[in-house]
Amino acid sequence: MIRNLSFFSKNSFYSKCLIETHLKNSSNNSFFRDINFNQLSYRYYKTNPNIKQQPKENIQKSSNTTLETQERINGLLKLFPPIKYGFAYGSGVISQKGYNRNEDGSTTTEDPTKKESPMIDLIFAVENSTQWHSLNLVNNLSHYSFLGLMGAHIVSKVQFMGAKIYFNTLLEHNGIKFKYGVIEYKDLIDDLKNWRTLYLSGRMQKPIVNLPTSTNEGLKEIEEINSKYNLKNAVITSLLMLPETFTEYDLYHTISKLSYSGDIRMKGAENPMKTHNIVINNIDGFRSLYFPIINDYLSEYLNVILENGDEVDSGLILSKYLINYGGGTKNNKKNNDKDDQRKIIIKFKSKQDPMNYLNLLMMLPDCIKSPMLKEVRNNMKLKRPDEKIDPTILHNLIFVIVSKSSFTQTLKGALTAGFSKSLNYMKLKLSSSKKK
């Protein structure tokens, strides 16, 4: 029945009653019996009463975007059913080199020959995908390809393929271009912990904006798991790839590259300077993510090299920085000395010895840890216990994980977006990569 909603007027009271009557009578379907029909009714109002907006004074403290951009995001969120957790990302949300932020919150490229503005990218983590898509199809059927006509059950089945996320792309509302992906909450947690696909966990290794429609429970749990597992593993993996001495830019650049290693889109459909563009305009955003991680979990493995060449424990420097700047997000323009200090790129030196190396490996997800430990055992058999494993082996492990998920998601795009939209999307990406 859901797939036939397009034959009725969106504002038709008759169609709403008919939908409710049909679903309530679907006694052979336990899912439909559990639907809260009060949630359906909000789709027929201009605004979503389930949305509780963040106070404006709190937005800037918790994100790397502007108040105007947050308001544009909030306008889009009114279109959708409730979620447990969500975030926004991409050049339409987070500052990137090559783009200008306009007063109305929109983003435009610095290239005068390119008029297209980047899309706002949204991710929705929901408890039950079938239920969420059923509610979303009531008023947003036009967002879907032909799969939407087959109903929420088919949409969810396609979603669970590959990286377990379903994207509706190349959409527009009130002049705002956007796309959104839907994933089950448990699948997002699994990827953050275990790096099964690195599809969304990779995106969450960079600055993002948490959505104000996230539940308090979901937001708290995701932030805790992201820090304890995903962000920490991203730092560890990068430490094992980097030379003994490196700058914090090198660290953020290596972390950002993890989720693009093996990404099929990087073979011509994405800007080859994308990683640099993300990092260079967001040093403070990366600091707010990774200084607490290093300070809490990894300070014993890193020293900071001072300007005079002395080495000090990274915990001493980073804890002081976090107190002064709140992780890099606090504004200290009134103190010129502090502003000058914030502009200094910190230089690290890793404490590379066999025991530290092994300890770091043991913290990684099993998909990385197991094959790397196998290489360590091989070295011990060859009586080379102090020899580090070639970083290209670690890089190849990440490459395989990312390439599998990005390939399946690209194939899914032909179904979830439709062939026409998929071609247009690829054209936009190709055009973007050539002009930047």
- Give me the sign of the Cα torsion angle 210, 147, 139, 170: positive
Q: Cβ distance 179 to 121 under 8 Å? A: yes
CA distances from 108 to 70, 78, 101, 182 (A): 16, 24, 7, 26
411-424 average pLDDT score:
70
| H/E segment holding residue 422 | helix 419-435
Q: Is the pLDDT of residue 221 over 90?
A: yes
Please state which of the ranges 69-73, 104-108, 378-382, 413-417 shows the lowest mean pLDDT. Answer: 104-108
The count of C-alpha atoms lying within 13 angstroms of the C-alpha of 283, restricted to the half-sphere facing its C-beta, is 11
Q: Are 63 and 98 in contact (CB under 8 A)?
A: no
Question: Which of 212-216, 268-272, 284-288 is predicted least confidently?
Answer: 268-272
Give the pLDDT of residue 98: 61
Averaged confidence pLDDT in the chain: 79
Mean pLDDT on 350-359: 89
Please state which of the ranges 143-152, 167-176, 240-249, 321-330 shows the lowest mean pLDDT.
321-330
Helix, strand, coil distribution of the chain in percent, nearest 5: 55, 10, 30
Looking up tokens 């980047």, which residue turns up?
Answer: 118
Judged by DSSP in three states, 369 sits in helix
Model pLDDT, residue 58: 40
Kindly provide the b/e burial profile for residues 55-70, where b requires at least 16 CB atoms within 10 angstroms of the residue's own CB.
eeeebeeebbbbeebb
Which backbone phi and psi does 308 adopt, to 5 degrees? -85, 5
Examine the pLDDT at 137 and tell me if it is beyond 80: yes
Mean pLDDT of 240-245: 94
Residue 335 in this model has a pLDDT that exceeds 90: no
Instruction: Give just the sign of the alpha carbon dihedral 212, 214, 216, 221.
Output: negative
Q: Could you tell me if 397 and 233 are in contact, meaning their C-beta atoms sit under 8 angstroms apart?
A: no
Please give the average per-residue pLDDT across 193-215, as a whole number.
96
The whole-model pTM stands at 0.80
Asked whether the predicted pLDDT for residue 341 surpasses 70, the reply is no
- What percent of the chain is modeled with pLDDT above 90? 50
Q: Which residues, listed in sequence order, are joined to residue 121 by a DSSP beta bridge?
A: 89, 179
Quick one: tokens of 362? 């043991």
Signed CA dihedral, 166, 272, 69, 199: sign only: positive
Q: Both tokens of residue 303?
A: 């020293």
Is residue 435 predicted with pLDDT exceeding 70? no
Q: What's 211's DSSP letter? A: -
Q: How confident is the model at residue 432 (pLDDT cuts 50, 70, 90)?
A: low
> Six-digit token pair at 231?
């962000």
